[in-house]
Chains A and B, each alone.
Chain A
Amino acid sequence: MRRLARERIAPRAAEVDRTAEFPWDNKELLASQDILALPFPEAYGGLGADLLTVCLAIEALSEACATTGLILAVHVLAAMPIITRGTDEQRQRWLPDLAAGKTLISFAITESDAGSDAGSIAMRATRNGDEYILDGAKRFITQGSVADLVVVFAVSDPDARRHQNLSCFVVETNRPGFSVGRLEHKMGIRGSPTAELLFDAVRIPADNRIGAEGEGFAIAMSTFERSRPGIAAQAVGIAQGALDFAAHYATERIQFGKPIAEKQMVQALLADMDATTEAARQLLYAACAAIEAGDGDAARWAAVCKLVAGDAAMRVTTDAVQVLGGYGYLEEFPVERMMRDAKITQLYEGTQQIQRLVVARSLLARS
């Protein structure tokens, strides 16, 4: 994985960022090397890897290119409802092609007025015989414009109580009425298209529903327990990539007649970056082990590791730019890209504030 990231993915990272084009070649590479097969059960052509292994892969890819690491992270996130809650027939229908990397899947919960407050989703799913009719719009959908399948959360029972009115559906993106609206212009992860998805009376068979009616919110929340560590892994990878570059740069950059790495103020910056990254990494690994072992407080583990790793990535990449000085601010060097990429890890899959909310709720429930 590291060799692949170093030899094939790192050299493309700057171009992917500059052109803001989805790196189809990297996606094909991940597919051909079975990396996209990692999270899927062996019975469906996957490798049946545990959460830690998946996170190690996301981390290694993200060290070189956060956009490419995100391809795997989104694949895991969006397929999770099918893997954990799909019927055997549904798994058989969708998982083999996803495991082979022939199809991509994205996860559509967010709407323009339903971000952190996922309970306020407006999109409707109306039952009509053996079908549902989907109407509404999703926004900020990572890889929404390149996916073959979209996991959609919509209100199936407007009269039900909050958090019990949502259902989860798999929508094939070639269905009539589905279209991609605007693509966002973003600060970072620029090669990963963030799309607005429009649903104009999109008809899907009722057996595209994952889980029971009204279980949508619960499915989404349990998905985050296994997907937030993936974002923490992306954050740790970004931080490590920035640290490695800054440390190497410090040994080569001569000022006052010596490499700046010999200056204690630079050493202190680098040491803090290393300690911060390692702390985030070890928390992530511990969280993966606890979640995989069925810890009753998986939501807390997922939230704490994403919270700590996201902040670590932001701090470490900011300091990496500092180590490079003015050069760090230039796009000729990768650390400014890493700093822009790092910011998203504090925002998506729940902002850092939402992570704190989850942690506090769990903490106070035990107190």
Chain B
Amino acid sequence: MRIVVLVKPVPDTTGQERLGPDLRVDRANVPAVVNANDEYAIEAALKLVEAAGEGDVTLLTMAPVAAPETLRKALAMGAQRAFLVSDPILAGSDTVTTVHVLAAALQRIEHDLVLAGADTSDGGAGVVAAGVAYRAGLPYLSYAARIEPHADRVTVHRLSPVGYDVIESALPAVVVATQALGEPRYPSLKGIMSARSKEIVTWSLADLGLAEGALAGELGGAQATTRVVSAVAPPPRAATRVVRETAQVAGSQVVEFLVERRLI
């Protein structure tokens, strides 16, 4: 079972994030972490490989050149190697470019299954995994609460508003992981130490054959189909009412509060 996990370094949400003059997050001055939803995908991939007793987990990301440091943290969880697509042209890219680039990179990595997080904590679009599946011509199975691979197909329990749907497709396929798959593991010290010597291959657009051909000149920040028009700080939080009573009293006070505001 060869699994590729799509991951993204995102700004650590510590409240220290600042916007740059282009109104985008100033990534250079904020420590990066692996997107939290991607960690569920990594955990699920590691569990699948451990259960199968064979195979490996490969990370794939499109990110700035500083990404390896963040990727090492993900490798420390147990993935075997990572591929990083990085190119100055890609700075400021939108999801369309990301989809093209990741789909092209995926073609160069052997895989039986592709996992991705539901969305990212910075962009939050949640469309890249579906786009990659479409571009790569792979089945797309979203919101997996359970993943059961078989010889040539995969069964997924897809979360729905009322429970879950059991869906199935041929392999390879793209599956979107959710928190229901289980808490990501902490990297062990041996994992952290071995991650130092794991392979991180960096590809440019030229390496992927995207500097020429149909997509040449169509990719990157300059070609983004979306742009940031304005940025507004969230309004300060309104006065908070804290109920400090015994459970019984507190319960009825909370209900009264909600009834007063016609919220229930």
Residues of A within 8 A of B (CB): 3-4, 8, 32-35, 37-38, 47
Rounded to whole angstroms, the CA-CA distance of A128 and B186 in the bound complex is 50
Q: Which 7 residue pairs are nearest across A and B when measured between Cβ atoms?
A: A34-B189, A34-B188, A34-B190, A33-B188, A4-B186, A47-B189, A33-B186
Rounded to whole angstroms, the CA-CA distance of A95 and B126 in the bound complex is 49
- Chain B residues, Cβ within 8 Å of A35: 189
Contact with A along B180-211 (1 / 0, CB 8 A): 00000010111101000000000000000000
8 A Cβ contacts from B147-197 to A: 186, 188-191, 193
Contact assessment for B190 and A47 in the assembled complex, using a CB-CB cutoff below 8 Å: yes
- Nearest-neighbour CB distance to chain A for B119, whole angstroms, equals 23
- Chain B residues, Cβ within 8 Å of A47: 189-190, 193
Contact assessment for B186 and A3 in the assembled complex, using a CB-CB cutoff below 8 Å: yes
Contact assessment for B190 and A37 in the assembled complex, using a CB-CB cutoff below 8 Å: yes
In the complex, which of the residues A4, A32, A33 has the most CB atoms of chain B within 10 Å of its own CB atom? A33
How many A-B residue pairs have C-beta atoms within 8 angstroms? Tell me: 18
Contact assessment for B186 and A38 in the assembled complex, using a CB-CB cutoff below 8 Å: no
For B193, the closest partner residue in chain A by CB is A47
Contact with A along B23-65 (1 / 0, CB 8 A): 0000000000000000000000000000000000000000000
- Chain B residues, Cβ within 8 Å of A38: 189
Rounded to whole angstroms, the CA-CA distance of A37 and B189 in the bound complex is 9
Can you list 18 A-B contacts with CB-CB less than 8 angstroms, sorted by A residue number? A3-B186, A4-B186, A8-B186, A32-B188, A33-B186, A33-B188, A33-B189, A34-B188, A34-B189, A34-B190, A34-B191, A35-B189, A37-B189, A37-B190, A38-B189, A47-B189, A47-B190, A47-B193
Rounded to whole angstroms, the CA-CA distance of A24 and B190 in the bound complex is 21
Rounded to whole angstroms, the CA-CA distance of A47 and B190 in the bound complex is 7
Interface of A is mostly: helix
- Nearest-neighbour CB distance to chain B for A59, whole angstroms, equals 15
Rounded to whole angstroms, the CA-CA distance of A171 and B191 in the bound complex is 33
Rounded to whole angstroms, the CA-CA distance of A34 and B193 in the bound complex is 11
- Chain B residues, Cβ within 8 Å of A33: 186, 188-189
- Chain A residues, Cβ within 8 Å of B186: 3-4, 8, 33
- Nearest-neighbour CB distance to chain A for B190, whole angstroms, equals 5
For B192, the closest partner residue in chain A by CB is A34
Rounded to whole angstroms, the CA-CA distance of A47 and B196 in the bound complex is 14
Rounded to whole angstroms, the CA-CA distance of A165 and B193 in the bound complex is 43
- Chain A residues, Cβ within 8 Å of B191: 34
For B191, the closest partner residue in chain A by CB is A34
Rounded to whole angstroms, the CA-CA distance of A47 and B194 in the bound complex is 11
For B189, the closest partner residue in chain A by CB is A34
- Chain B residues, Cβ within 8 Å of A3: 186
In the complex, which of the residues B186, B191, B193 has the most CB atoms of chain A within 10 Å of its own CB atom? B186
- Chain B residues, Cβ within 8 Å of A4: 186
- Chain A residues, Cβ within 8 Å of B188: 32-34
Rounded to whole angstroms, the CA-CA distance of A233 and B33 in the bound complex is 28
- Nearest-neighbour CB distance to chain A for B37, whole angstroms, equals 18
For A49, the closest partner residue in chain B by CB is B189
- Nearest-neighbour CB distance to chain B for A45, whole angstroms, equals 10
- Chain B residues, Cβ within 8 Å of A37: 189-190
8 A Cβ contacts from B44-98 to A: none
In the complex, which of the residues B188, B189, B193 has the most CB atoms of chain A within 10 Å of its own CB atom? B189
Rounded to whole angstroms, the CA-CA distance of A32 and B191 in the bound complex is 11
Given contacts A33-B189, A34-B191, A47-B193, 5 further A-B contacts (CB under 8 A): A33-B186, A35-B189, A38-B189, A47-B189, A47-B190
- Nearest-neighbour CB distance to chain B for A237, whole angstroms, equals 17
- Nearest-neighbour CB distance to chain B for A125, whole angstroms, equals 37
Rounded to whole angstroms, the CA-CA distance of A174 and B193 in the bound complex is 36
- Nearest-neighbour CB distance to chain A for B97, whole angstroms, equals 33
- Chain B residues, Cβ within 8 Å of A34: 188-191
Rounded to whole angstroms, the CA-CA distance of A35 and B193 in the bound complex is 12
